[in-house]
Amino acid sequence: MSGAKFSEAELRERLSPEEYHVTQEAGTERAFSGRYWDVKDNGTYHCIVCDAALFSSDTKYESGSGWPSFTNPMDLDSVETHTDTSHGMVRTEVTCANCGAHLGHVFPDGPGPTGERYCMNSVSLRLEGEPADD
C-alpha cells in the first residue's frame, strides 16, 4: 500500500476527538458502545482515517466481547500486527497497513477457519454497503 500520511492538524480537524484518540493514540472505546458492535449489515469496513478496505461483513461474527469482531481481514496485507505491552498485558495490536491507524487487537480465541478474533474499535471503521435483510 502507499503508506498514507496525514498531519496532526488535518486529522484533528477531520476526526472526532474519540476517533483521533483511538486511531492515533491507541485508545479503546468502551465495550458495547460503538456503532458497529451489533450491526449485521452487509458491506466492507474501511479505515476511518485513510478509507482503505479492511474487513468484509462476511467474516464478522458475534464474539460477545462488545466490539465488532472478524475472523480475518479482507487481505492480510491490509493490516499489520505489533506486540502491545501496554496496561500490563501482552497483546497483538492491529493497525491499518496503509496509514498506521490503530484499529484494535487480534486474539487466538476466534472461530474457524482461522481461530482468530480481530476485535476492532467501531470508531476506527466506516461501513460501506447495504443494510441487512431482517
> pLDDT by residue (tens digit) across 27-46?
999 999 999 999 999 999 99
Phi, psi dihedral angles at 128 (to 5 degrees): -120, 120
**Minimum mean pLDDT among 55-59, 75-79, 84-88, 119-123: which range?**
84-88
Three-state SS at 119: strand
Share of the chain above pLDDT 90, in %: 86
Question: Rounded to whole angstroms, what are the CA distances from 116 to 24, 70, 86?
Answer: 24, 8, 21
pLDDT at 112: 81
Question: What CATH number belongs to 8-130?
Answer: 2.170.150.20
Contact present, 20 and 90 (Cβ < 8 Å) = no
Stretch 105-131: mean pLDDT, rounded? 92
d(CA 82, CA 27): 15
E strand residue ranges, the chain: 42-47, 53-56, 60-61, 69-70, 79-84, 91-96, 102-107, 117-120, 125-130
Inform me whether the pLDDT recorded for 67 exceeds 80: yes
119 is catalytic: yes
C-alpha radius of gyration, the chain, whole number: 14
Residue ranges of domains in the chain: 8-130
Average pLDDT, whole number, for the chain? 93
Q: Which residue has the cell 480537524?
A: 13
Q: Which residue in 47, 96, 99, 119 is the catalytic one?
A: 119
pLDDT at 1: 39
Share of the chain above pLDDT 70, in %: 94
Q: Which residue has the cell 472461530?
A: 111
